[in-house]
Amino acid sequence: MTSQRKGVRRAAARLAAVCLLAAGLVGTTPAAAGTPTPGEGPTVVPVQTTGPAERRFNLVFMGDGYTAAEMPAFRADLERHLNTLWSVEPFASYRSYINVWAVEVPSAESGVDCDPGLGAPARDTALDMGFWGGCDPDSVQRLLTVDGRKAGALADLVPGTGRANRQIVALAHSDTYGGAGGSYATASGGNALSSLITPHEIGHSLGGLQDEYDYYARGVPGGAYEGPEPSSVHHTLLTEEQMREQRAKWWRWLGEESESGGVIGRHEGGMYSTKGVWRPSRHSLMKTLGYAFDQVEREVMVRAISAKVDLVQDHTPDTAPIGADRTVWVDTLHPVGGALSVTWKLDGRTLDTRGARTVDLRRLRVPPGTHTLTAAVTDPTPFVRDPAVRASAALTRTVTWTVDPSLTTVRSPEAPGFTGHTPTGPPVGARGVVHADTTHAVDATPAVRWRLDGRPVATAGRNDRDLDLRSLRITPGTHALTARLAGTGEELSWTVDARPATAAYELSEPLRTVRRPGRPVEYVYDGAFTMRLTARDDREGAVVSQFRVDGDGWYTYYGWPTDASAPFRFSPGGTVIDGLVYGKLGRSRAVPWDDATPDHGTHTVEYRTIDAAGNIGRARSFLVTLVKP
């Protein structure tokens, strides 16, 4: 919810733009750090390092209301938030663009202000976080704010980061549901839903996404929208036909199966109004915590993350003309979800380089005179359909050189070697891209030779710096991957984890259990029942479990909103908790005024896992038949 909404006045002073809550692959476990003691200054802890801070998007986490003795609780809360974040797209595919830092600063007292109510005492904490918009009686309880000046000062302790390349996330030491998004994102650290609050708030703070709630106060319908066409990318007054005719809003995604369930189209409600404004999907992360960003929101987030970095990390100097007697190179970023593409052109003519990061001008027999060489680096991600987004500086960068064959390149001997690579410590998933960058000589291109389980992987004549493991169709199990630098003895090695984690379910006692050949097991209930999901993996690292009902969107399993250790509860009409509805069997129901008619009959419940390496387990299922009492 933005601070422009009436009644949230003091919150605006603390947070430039706040929003009201509804509803790892690479080193994702916080690094060990000594426990701070009272009076000790803040400690900056690198949690995930993918490159120099100046060249990465930096997430800076800090905790408030954690005493020195409770700092392990902050680290555990942070780890849980990150494990969930890396399971959500596009963070999963672009986590290699992101550094994560923790600024550990102990508070004198435990907890935060006005938690859980306005009558709760104020606490002496490092960041002055508080519910009720900072203890404003005109605000709402779950609006969790932070002293922006103090948060910014702590973030400034992280070298190489600034407002242009970082996002601050403040976690409150609380089990109460709450958070906010704006200049700084906030979330409660220990609530069952808290790790899902973080990507929602980053959606606001980083992507500028709006809430899709159809209410302002929980339990109270939001009324009819009376404003003009919203500037929000994912809200509109237009019909589907008008969107197509005008090529406006999410017309490119219309009719697609939504990543968050249902079909992308025109669903009424959003921006705190129940009527008169429409959103793309039935539910998404910006409406109901637990679901994914839909395609419209995900495209926005891809651009937002990519805009914080430069796809071209380094290249042959372009400040002066170069000779035609040399190689020219570019070094790029390496998304986990898919390699970037590089297109080389000489005087506008595309060269047959097949995505290689270097081009040998000697082979082109460049004629006399000056010529223009370009290398266009583009992200071909299917997450983006808008050509304007694709062509923006976030997803396309071009380097230009002037080539003059009359010039002679000075040779300087340089031993070939690796300069950067996917970390070799943790296992890599079978769905990711592994990379290995090398030094660059002006008269040669060091070749990288890849092998999987000792067998060569063909990369000759094309980009040999990135290896997309999905193209290899790796069989389940554990595999050995190596990258050897040709002509040297230098070699890198990784363990490829191609065995997803598994999940098991446990249900409350049914009326009866039905087993039929060729069909999933069926459980019959005449009322509410519970489901507990547990995950198992043969490797270290957290596993995120998900489920969906009747082919709807995948929903992150978190226990139950009031207790993370309790099982999820399905019921014919859903359970109302603090003005929101959870666990309606059949067609989902988010707010009390949604249709509560029980969906009697048989429903398919699927469940799966996402492990620490990014592997998505095969969905398994069981049937639930709901009969009338």
Q: Is the per-residue pLDDT at 466 higher than 70?
A: yes
Q: Is the per-residue pLDDT at 96 higher than 80?
A: yes
Between 194-205 and 71-85, two packed helices, what is the crossing angle to 10 degrees?
70
Residue 165, Cβ neighbours under 10 Å: how many? 17
Q: Is the per-residue pLDDT at 547 higher than 50?
A: yes
- CA 466 – CA 457 distance, rounded (Å): 12
- CA 198 – CA 19 distance, rounded (Å): 12
When the candidates are 1.10.3470, 2.40.10, 2.60.120, 2.60.40, the CATH number that belongs to 418-497 is 2.60.40
Contact (Cβ atoms closer than 8 angstroms) between residue 421 and residue 446: no
DSSP states along 274-315: EEEEEESSSS-TTTSBTBPP-HHHHHHHHHHHHTTS-SEEEE
pLDDT tens profile 219-248? 899 999 999 999 999 999 999 999 999 999
**CATH of the domain spanning 502-626:** 2.60.40
> In 3D, which of 593, 602, 626 has the Cα closest to residue 223?
593
Residue 479, Cβ neighbours under 10 Å: how many? 20
Q: Is the per-residue pLDDT at 36 higher than 70?
A: no
| Cα-Cα end-to-end distance for the chain | 41
21-30, 39-48, 265-274: which range is least confident on average? 21-30
> In 3D, which of 2, 562, 128, 50 has the Cα closest to residue 334?
50
**pLDDT attached to residue 621:** 98
**pLDDT attached to residue 433:** 97
- Cα-atom radius of gyration of the chain, to the nearest Å? 26
Joined tokens for residue 347: 């005087």
pTM over 0.75? The answer is: yes
pLDDT tens profile 126-138? 999 999 999 999 8
pLDDT tens profile 419-453? 999 999 999 999 999 999 999 999 988 899 999 99
**pLDDT attached to residue 193:** 95
Joined tokens for residue 179: 């958070």
pLDDT tens profile 300-313? 999 999 999 999 99
**pLDDT, average across residues 545-573:** 97
DSSP states along 70-87: GHHHHHHHHHHHHHHHTT
Most distant CA pair in the chain: distance in Å?
90
**pLDDT attached to residue 414:** 81
**Count, residues in the chain:** 629
The one-letter amino acid at 239: T
- CA 302 – CA 105 distance, rounded (Å): 32
Question: What are the distances in angstroms from CA 163 to CA 54, 151, 447?
Answer: 11, 12, 39
Q: Is the per-residue pLDDT at 23 higher than 50?
A: no
Is the domain 10-205 a CATH 3.40.390.10 member?
yes
Average pLDDT of the chain, as a whole number: 92
The answer, yes or no, to whether the previous bond of 116 is cis (omega within 30 of 0) is: yes
**pLDDT attached to residue 15:** 35
